[in-house]
Amino acid sequence: MTRDAFHAIVMALPGVEEGMSYGQPSYKINGKFLTRVRKEDDSAVIMDVPFDERDLLIEVEPQTFHFTAHYKDYPTVLARLETLDPDQLKGFLERRWRKSATRAMVQARDAAG
């Protein structure tokens, strides 16, 4: 996946805005961090991934999923854009989006199908 494809997938979610987090370009929903691409390794920061799921992802797809010492104690996994499946990204972002969007935004998205 290219950065442009990543950007298009993220921005397709309602209410997502580009912003800054810790001095890095990022995407936010309702003022809360949604995701970003790490310039160090061209990996997406995927939050709200339980530790057991993260471990399984890394075991099954080590070419795509990994984490650094910084993320060790957080329910977060890093995903290399080069090998990340767009449908997987959509699923991860939808889960995070639902936790951060307003109730009205979630209800409107569900009603729209």
pLDDT, tens digit only, all 113 positions of the chain: 999 999 999 999 999 999 998 888 999 999 999 999 999 999 999 999 999 999 999 999 999 999 999 999 999 999 999 999 999 999 999 999 999 999 999 999 999 87
pTM: 0.92
Q: How far are the Cα atoms of 22, 54, 63 from residue 83, in angstroms, in the given order? A: 26, 16, 7
What is the model's pLDDT at position 24? 87
DSSP 71: G
Tokens of 94: 């939808």
What is the model's pLDDT at position 22? 81
Instruction: Give the pairing type, strands 43-47 and 37-38.
Output: antiparallel
Alpha helices in 1-113 (DSSP H): 3-11, 51-60, 86-100, 103-112
What is the model's pLDDT at position 23? 84
What is the model's pLDDT at position 112? 87
